[in-house]
Structure 1
């Protein structure tokens, strides 16, 4: 292949990866990156950690692992890539194969010819369509300029109260950043009925919301922000929602992003209804000489088979390598994503892959969810902690559709989610999950690992052995409606059960599972039974015993009392015996 010029629009994640891959394979290629910002090749996902103080200096987000700043000079000297910062791409002339750019400092226009063009134009933060959103103290966290401005306000002590609009990943991360180090009184408003909408199903979302509440963040879900009113002092703000007024010194909007496909659309390239640049499996656009990747495109979801927008730095880097390979003459493909995702929220890690139960139902699957709470390593090992995992499966095909989890031991959780992510991409089944090989030693795993227990639980549900109710069902039929024909059968030890028996009287019956066979006469036959233990294991054994005795009016509450308490439904002290 003759020497070619490759022009890359965007120099944050996908752009630098593409450029470096091309130069490694074809050092003779002329590679040019243009970006309208002065900051390039930075870790945008690290912005909340810079604001929180976990990352002390902004330059750390622009450094290599060997502590060199990724400046234009670095790329030119170390990588052989030319970089034009403060240069905005204005238009693509596909017929002449040129890119018109404007140098923002001199206001001069320039045409750059290309053989191949790469669009790494990223995404744009969504803007609230409400009055007051243009106030200078209403900010997003979409780039390093935003991060620096927010950090400066915090450092000067100018922020005592903050309102975050949006309880997605960025909103939750920013709640931690503002509260933990800076002691800012933080409120979060979310239009959806839960935090992390579309990421978690309701039970695990309630666990996250409960944790936020424990750490002092006021969470208001199911509320719409209607306007932001400036105070008389010109600095304070009032956020007016559909239900309340919230005082703030700064408002941070975290209401999602949209793909930035404007440059492509104006050039006549195919874009999706959501404005994303449409690409094939080689990441070529509708013009074979133009490639695109990262946040400006949509990818195929490997569970639903439909395109979705998944802005992730890790995805952009992988796609950058594929584009670089193809431009250099190779043949690499991107098959799609299962949407693997992780976020740290105070002491809690959240990780998911695939789709939620709610999404699975809306996509036409006959979806079933299994939930397990179990120690993340041998129960006798000192650092063990409870991990919550939920898996979504299709009843007809037994195919795995999604997994989600929360845990205080984030590395342990992410390791499990990553393993199951690989099964999801290969259309794995519940049997594959039950038999997934996990490296075992007590400091890192249990002999029957939680992912295997999760697969076993899903199998038992599909086979009709384990008839379940979710914690939300427990709340609806026991706590809210208080139906007279519903009682809880607690099969834990007496010390565990005592606070609940005192709180709920004859609606909460305690018969330890190991004595149940001898005390079947004490089980009410005219009531609907919600069988509970601490995590759902002993209650499953009890369910089988009841069924063997001809008592069919019982269901096993998934996750047991542990799930109920972690969700914040009941707050009672109990002695640890179970």
Structure 2
């Protein structure tokens, strides 16, 4: 029997659910309504249009075969009726109707449904600041925003830009301003690091330093108090610590799920917004589904409700909903939380929980940091990759992996490998023995993921006792009062520069000479071991422990991590 499906929202999940359903039930009717004139666009591509990587805003609204995804496309190609500039104002569950308002004519109407999909997405979080409505202040929401921002830059109207927020969008927009257009760009972040709660302070500092090398200025621990302007246009941003010149301001302080229409209809909604759904993407009304950026789903690691606004997830959920609208029983069991963000020539990615998030969720967690080449050491083109693994101490369960490396596929490929198994609660041992495709141009024989898990095993066993670059920095800066003995385990040619720079503080005994030169290494002082990446210093730690040294610390990631972190030696 044919059905009438009504979809509220036409950006990501809505079109996917509508088209999947029509393929399964071509004889049924689908009506999709959206209050905007633009539908089915790739919002995640907006920073790359602003930067110039994507040449035309139109490309954000086209298919892979270059057809514009507009009303006519959906009607002619997909068999879906689309009503743009039409706002859904109310859901009448008793009579199974959606009340609509035509934003062009002001006419009100009602649309009957057999089943309903709420795909209302999310809206940029507004800060309620004075001056937030000035010309030149923008959010990153749709292609119209992208066009307006890029036109302002290309006309030479923007010499200074201020980005509020150091999450995904904030960092991507900072790169877009500085890299392509040479705009002096500052980022104001209320917390103490980029990508807060998603990566550790160590990885965040590495990403920050790379962006600073590319001209971005960061102001952490600052709160924006006002946005000021002249003649209706923005000219400066006032924080609690300084005033920044600004010809353009991007507010990238996160998004808020658009779930008011669901709440007003009596559906279960999270206290901070977002529609609750089950594993079939149904709300507590069996004839109403919801998904994408307006929905709350289950976190498969913490088993708690989670809001994760990602276009990739919306598309996958849209297929689930489309299948179930046609009588299927498809399941979306939840998320582990995977991401990647491009930072100039590097990228930062992760899956699962960071250490801070794991501790906040109640896990007795620890993290380990490893720096290793992304392919065979003898292959001519290779780069160092930094990965951090978060594990639960008692169960050895892997809770997450985050990384910082080149902008190629090598690092995000490792993250994706772990993302695929996180839902099954893998242990360190599973990753230690994970089978990965190997050839010298692509990986080392002992892949960095295998080595990372082995390192975590050694840490939990207590035979690799160490700190990351942040811990090293703290000890180095307090070396005068702590009497720490810093021992470089590399060959003398690598250590000479640092011996000359830091006479009396920096010492050198190559790892292979440890047993021969024990008399040069004091037993009555804390010893901190450093090599290039932490591998030889780990071997040295084992050797010294074997000879009765009790206070020996290995610097995880070695000089590679120390340099990326920005410690001044």
TM-score, normalised to structure 2, is 0.98
Aligned to 2:181: 182
Separation of aligned partners in 2, 1:502 and 1:107: 78
Q: Which residue of 2 aligns with 1:501?
A: 499
Q: CA deviation at 1:482?
A: 4.0
Cα distance per residue 1:278-325 (max 9 Å; x no partner): 111111111111100000011111111111111000000000011111
**SS of residue in 2 equivalent to 1:519:** helix
**Structure 1: distance between partners of 2:400 and 2:367:** 9
2-structure distance, mates of 1:435, 1:274: 41
Cα deviation, 1:134-183, whole Å, max 9, x if unaligned, reads: 21221111111211110110111100000001000100000110011111
For residues 483 and 556 of structure 1, the distance between their equivalents in structure 2, rounded to whole angstroms, comes to 20
Alignment check: 8 A CA contact 1:393 1:402 kept = yes
Per the TM alignment, residue 71 of structure 1 is displaced from its structure 2 partner at its CA by 1.2
- Unaligned regions of 5+ residues in structure 2, if any? none
Contact 1:164–1:171 (Cα < 8 Å) also in 2 = yes
Residue pair 1:478, 1:487 contacting (<8 A) in 2 also? no
Contact 1:477 1:483 in 2 (8 A): no
Q: Which residue of 1 aligns with 2:473?
A: 475
* CA deviation after TM superposition for structure 1 residue 502, in Å: 2.3
Partner Cα distance (2:516, 2:41) in 1:
66
Alpha-carbon deviation of 1:551? 0.8
Distance 1:161 1:119 in 2: 40
Q: Which moved more, 1:492-501 or 1:215-224?
A: 492-501
Q: What is aligned with 1:309?
A: 307
Partner Cα distance (1:177, 1:439) in 2: 34
CA contact (8 A) 1:283 1:292 kept: yes
The 2-side partners of 1:366 and 1:98 are apart by 50
In the TM superposition, what is the alpha-carbon distance from 1:234 to its structure 2 partner? Answer: 4.6
Task: Show CA shifts across 1:105-145 (max 9, x none).
Answer: 11111111000000000001111132222212211111112
Q: Secondary structure at the match of 1:162?
A: strand
CA contact (8 A) 2:257 2:294 kept: yes
Residues 544 and 8 of structure 1: CA distance in aligned 2, closer, same or farther (over 3 Å): same
Is the CA contact 2:134–2:232 (under 8 Å) kept in the aligned structure 1?
no
2:17·2:322 contact (CA, 8 Å) conserved in 1?
Answer: yes
Q: Secondary structure at the match of 2:366?
A: strand
1:360 alignment partner in structure 2? 358
CA RMSD of aligned residues (A): 1.1
Query: Aligned equivalents of 1:473 and 1:416: distance in 2?
Result: 26
CA distance in 2, matches of 1:345, 1:161: 19
Return the alpha-carbon distance in structure 2 between the equivalents of residues 480 and 255 of structure 1.
36
Q: Is the 8 A contact 2:137 2:234 kept in 1?
A: no
1:144 corresponds in structure 2 to: 143
Q: What does residue 170 of structure 2 align with?
A: 171
- The CA deviation at 1:528 is 0.8
Matches within 5 A, 1:17-36: 17-36=16-35
Q: Residues 38-49 of structure 1: matches in 2 within 5 Å?
A: 38-49=37-48
C-alpha spacing 1:480/1:119, structure 2 compared with 1 (3 Å): farther
Q: Equivalent residue for 1:458?
A: 456
Give the superposition deviation at 1:513. Answer: 0.7
1:558 paired residue among 521, 534, 556: 556
In 2 relative to 1, CA 480–61 (structure 1 residues): closer, same or farther, beyond 3 Å?
A: farther
Q: Distance in 1 between matches of 2:362 and 2:96?
A: 45
Following the alignment from structure 2 to structure 1, what is the Cα–Cα distance between the partners of residues 471 and 342?
Answer: 28
| 3-state DSSP of counterpart to 2:116 | strand
Distance 2:11 2:480 in 1: 55
Instruction: Check conservation: 1:236, 1:247, Cα contact below 8 A.
Output: no
Q: CA deviation at 1:409?
A: 4.2
Structure 1 segments unaligned to the other structure (5+ residues):
573-578
2:504 is paired with a residue whose SS is helix
SS at match of 1:483: helix
Using the TM superposition, give the Cα deviation of residue 92 of structure 1 relative to its aligned residue in structure 2, in angstroms. 0.7
Corresponding residue SS for 1:275: coil
After TM superposition, the structure 1 = structure 2 runs for residues 417-436 of structure 1, keeping only pairs within 5 Å, are: 417-436=415-434
Secondary structure, aligned partner of 2:256: strand
5 Å-filtered alignment, 1:121-520, equals 121-231=120-230, 234-480=232-478, 482-520=480-518
Cα separation, 2, equivalents of 1:410 and 1:364: 34
SS at match of 2:451: helix
How far the C-alpha of 1:218 sits from its partner, in A, is 0.4
In 1, Cα distance between the equivalents of 2:518 and 2:479? 27
Cα distance in 2 for partners of 1:505, 1:223 equals 38
Q: Displacement, 1:368?
A: 1.2
Contact persistence 2:385–2:403 (CA under 8 A): yes
Q: 1:552 deviation in Å?
A: 1.4
**Is residue 189–residue 224 contact of structure 1 (8 Å, CA) maintained in 2?**
yes
Structure 1: how far apart are the matches of 2:480 and 2:253?
Answer: 37
Partner of 1:238: helix, strand, or coil?
strand
Q: SS where residue 373 of structure 1 aligns?
A: strand
Q: What secondary structure is seen at the aligned counterpart in 2 of 1:505?
A: coil
In the TM superposition, 1:498-577 aligns within 5 A as 498-570=496-568
Instruction: Tell me the residue number matched to 1:576.
Output: none
Distance 2:419 2:20 in 1: 26
Deviation, structure 1 residue 561 = 1.1
User: Distance between the aligned counterparts of 1:112 and 1:236, measured in 2?
Assistant: 43
Q: How much does 1:27 deviate? A: 0.6
3-state SS of 2:503 partner: helix
Deviations 1:41-67 (A, max 9, x none): 111000000000000001111111111
SS in 2 for 1:405: strand
Q: Does the residue aligned with 1:369 lie in a helix, a strand or coil?
A: strand
In the other structure, the counterpart of 2:90 is 91
Taking the aligned partners of 2:278 and 2:327, their CA distance within structure 1 comes to 17
> Alpha carbons of 1:50 and 1:409: their partners in 2 closer, same or farther (altered >3 Å)?
closer
Check the 8 A contact 2:429/2:453 in 1, yes or no: yes
For residues 487 and 194 of structure 1, the distance between their equivalents in structure 2, rounded to whole angstroms, comes to 30
Inter-CA distance 523–341: structure 2 relative to 1 (3 Å threshold):
same
Cα displacement string for residues 423-478 of structure 1 (whole angstroms, at most 9, x for unaligned residues): 21110000001000010001111101100010110011111111111211111122
In 2, Cα distance between equivalents of 1:317 and 1:293 = 9
Secondary structure of 2:152's match? helix
